Structure 1
Amino acid sequence: MEIRKPNIVELENILKLSPQALFEGTLGGVRPTDEKMKQLVEPLLGKGCYYLIATEEDELMGWILIGSSKDQFTDEIIGFIYELYVLQDFRGKGISKHLMKNAIEHLESEGYSEIRLGVFAENHAVQLYKQMGFSERNITMSLLVNR
């Protein structure tokens, strides 16, 4: 398995698959359009965030989107993992862990002393993040009301 930055064709493929990745990551709570994904991802790429991809024999298996973010309370610039996704056919093979380790190494080498990410509480990836040393920092709660 190779982990590296994508070429232009691979990046276009990721952007086509990103709506499904967000749909699954939000446990079906969000079904974004291609246009909405562009609105979410393009500003991140524009500010220096980048993808790392896992491939084998040039076949895309998964990706991770990393970069920086600003803490809303302290204005500290931190490393941030925006997205992690492994294609269905490649799940259960440790690819997420390889992508995470590589992303952490990249962010550490860029000088970030802290790395954060956001995840839906019921997402099975929570267990992976805990195994990798992440801990809960803040909790967002929701109340659905009848309208």
Structure 2
Amino acid sequence: MLIQKVTINELDSLTELFNLYRVFYNQKSDVNSARKFLTERILKEESVVFIALNGHESLGFVQLYPSFSSVSMQRSWVLNDLFVKETARGQGVGEKLMKTAIEFAKETGAKGVLLETAKDNTTAQRLYEKIGFIREGNYYYYFSN
């Protein structure tokens, strides 16, 4: 298995995975919009994406968005998306993608990697805690639309 940073050259493979990811979260399949969204993120350098490949088969991806802490005056990365194809689950793909994201954060001098997950997503929580993430209990999460 190869983990590599996505460029526009991997857009087709990433689009397939990203569409499956959105469908997993009960969104309507929309390959064209997914491709447009990803193209913009890549070309505008608004996110960093790593993809797991086995030969020509795409297995999963992780997408990071930059953030900054005014208090520490450091960059951090928000791990917004992690997805592994159903047929590739249980093979360590997610763990390798997560470790790549953490290493990338270190290489860019970031304070760390932040992520959120649903309370009932215990499978993901076990993975995050296994590789060293600590559940934050001192803050509340708010959202407005």
TM-score normalized by structure 2?
0.75
Q: CA deviation at 1:15?
A: 2.4
Deviates more, 1:113-122 or 1:132-141: 132-141
- Equivalent in 100, 109, 118 of residue 116 of structure 2: 118
Q: CA deviation at 1:20?
A: 2.8
Which residue number in structure 2 is paired with residue 60 of structure 1?
Answer: 58
CA distance in 2, matches of 1:38, 1:57: 22
The alignment partner of 1:135 has SS state of coil
Deviates more, 1:48-57 or 1:34-43: 34-43
List alignment gaps of at least 5 residues for structure 2: none
CA distance in 2, matches of 1:130, 1:104: 13
The alignment partner of 2:52 has SS state of strand
The alignment partner of 2:63 has SS state of strand
Which residue number in structure 2 is paired with residue 12 of structure 1?
Answer: 12
- Kindly provide the amino acid, as one letter, of the partner of residue 20 in structure 1: L
CA contact under 8 A between 2:3 and 2:97: conserved in structure 1? yes
Which residue number in structure 2 is paired with residue 145 of structure 1?
Answer: none
- Equivalent in 90, 94, 97 of residue 96 of structure 1: 94
Distance 1:97 1:114, change over 3 A: same
CA contact under 8 A between 1:67 and 1:107: conserved in structure 2? no
Q: CA deviation at 1:126?
A: 1.5
CA contact under 8 A between 1:69 and 1:78: conserved in structure 2? yes
Which residue number in structure 2 is paired with residue 85 of structure 1?
Answer: 83
Deviates more, 1:15-24 or 1:77-86: 15-24
CA distance in 2, matches of 1:56, 1:17: 14
- Kindly provide the amino acid, as one letter, of the partner of residue 5 in structure 1: K
CA distance in 2, matches of 1:106, 1:55: 18
Q: CA deviation at 1:60?
A: 0.8
Distance 1:127 1:36, change over 3 A: farther
Name the Cα RMSD after superposition: 2.9
Q: CA deviation at 1:64?
A: 0.9
Which residue number in structure 2 is paired with residue 133 of structure 1?
Answer: 132
